[in-house]
Amino acid sequence: MKETDSSVTSFRKDEHILLCLENDVQYSGITNGFDDIEIEPSLLTQFSLEEIDLATTFLSKEVKYPIIVSGMTGGSKNGRVFNESVARICSEFKIGMGVGSQRAALEDPKLVNTYEVRHIAPNIPLIANLGIAQFIQGYNHVQAQKAITMIGADALAIHINPLQEFVQGEGDKDQTKALEKIVALKQEFEYPIIIKGVGTGLTKVDAKSLSQLEVYALDVAGAGGTNWSRIEFYRNEDVKYLSDKFLNWGISTKNSLMNVVDFSEGKETKIIASGGVWSGFDAVKALLLGADYVALALPILRSIGKGGIDECRKFLSTYILEMKAVMAMLNVKNLEELKKERHKILDNI
Ligand SMILES: Cc1cc2nc3c(=O)[nH]c(=O)nc-3n(C[C@H](O)[C@H](O)[C@H](O)COP(=O)(O)O)c2cc1C
pLDDT digits (tens, 9 = 90+) for 256-271: 999 999 998 889 999 9
pLDDT tens digits, 186-243: 999 999 999 999 889 999 999 999 999 999 999 999 999 999 999 999 999 999 999 9
13 lines ligand 1 (CB under 6 A): no
User: How many whole angstroms from 200 Cα to the centroid of ligand 1?
Assistant: 12
- Answer whether 287's CB lies under 8 Å from 338's CB: yes
Which of 226, 248, 253, 278 best tests ligand 1's pocket when mutated (most atoms within 8 Å of CB)? 226
What pLDDT does residue 13 have? 84
Query: Which residue's alpha carbon is at the smallest distance from atom 6 of ligand 1?
Result: 72
| For range 56-77, the mean pLDDT | 97
CA distances from 196 to 92, 182, 202 (A): 25, 12, 9
Q: Which CATH number fits domain 5-347: 3.20.20.70, 3.40.50.2000, 3.40.50.1370, 3.40.50.300?
A: 3.20.20.70
User: How many whole angstroms from 70 Cα to the centroid of ligand 1?
Assistant: 6
Which of 70, 161, 194, 227 best tests ligand 1's pocket when mutated (most atoms within 8 Å of CB)? 70
pLDDT tens digits, 8-53: 777 888 899 999 999 999 999 899 999 999 999 999 999 999 999 9
Q: Which amino acid appears at position 122 of this protein?
A: P
- Answer whether 327's CB lies under 8 Å from 335's CB: no
> What three-state secondary structure class fits 189?
coil
301 lines ligand 1 (CB under 6 A): yes
What pLDDT does residue 326 have? 98
- Answer whether 214's CB lies under 8 Å from 268's CB: yes
Query: Which residue's alpha carbon is at the smallest distance from atom 7 of ligand 1?
Result: 100
74 lines ligand 1 (CB under 6 A): no
What pLDDT does residue 286 have? 98
User: How many whole angstroms from 37 Cα to the centroid of ligand 1?
Assistant: 25
The pLDDT-based confidence of 349 (bands split at 50, 70, 90) is low
User: How many whole angstroms from 198 Cα to the centroid of ligand 1?
Assistant: 6
Distant-in-sequence contacts of 144-151, Cβ < 8 A, 24+ apart: 144/185, 144/189, 144/191, 145/189, 145/191, 146/106, 147/102, 147/106, 148/191, 150/102, 150/105, 150/106, 150/112, 150/115, 150/116, 151/99, 151/102, 151/115, 151/116, 151/117, 151/118, 151/126
Q: Taking the CA atoms of 123, 125, 129 and 132 in sequence, report the sign of the dihedral they define.
A: positive
| CA-based nearest residue to 27, from 163, 208, 194, 165 | 163
| For range 127-144, the mean pLDDT | 96
119 — phi, psi (to 5°)? -65, -25
Distance of alpha carbon 129 from alpha carbon 158, whole angstroms? 6
The pLDDT-based confidence of 5 (bands split at 50, 70, 90) is low
16 lines ligand 1 (CB under 6 A): yes
The answer for residues whose C-beta is within 8 angstroms of residue 315's C-beta and 6 or more apart is 299, 300, 303
224 lines ligand 1 (CB under 6 A): no
Ligand 1 atom having least distance to the Cα of 278 = 26
296 lines ligand 1 (CB under 6 A): yes
pLDDT tens digits, 303-320: 999 999 999 999 999 999
- Give the whole-number percent of the chain exceeding pLDDT 70: 98
Q: How many CA atoms lie within 13 A of 6 on its CB side?
A: 17
Q: Which amino acid appears at position 150 of this protein?
A: M
Distance of alpha carbon 148 from alpha carbon 272, whole angstroms? 20
Q: What is the pTM of this model?
A: 0.96
Ligand 1 atom having least distance to the Cα of 199 = 22
The pLDDT-based confidence of 176 (bands split at 50, 70, 90) is confident
Q: What is the average pLDDT score of the chain?
A: 94
- Answer whether 14's CB lies under 8 Å from 257's CB: no
Domain spans of the chain?
A: 5-347
Distance of alpha carbon 114 from alpha carbon 134, whole angstroms? 20
226 lines ligand 1 (CB under 6 A): yes
Determine how β-strand 126-131 pairs with β-strand 96-98: parallel
**C-alpha Rg value of the chain to the nearest Å:** 19
What pLDDT does residue 3 have? 39
Element (H, E) at 69: strand 67-69
- Evaluate if residue 1 carries a pLDDT over 50: no
147 lines ligand 1 (CB under 6 A): no
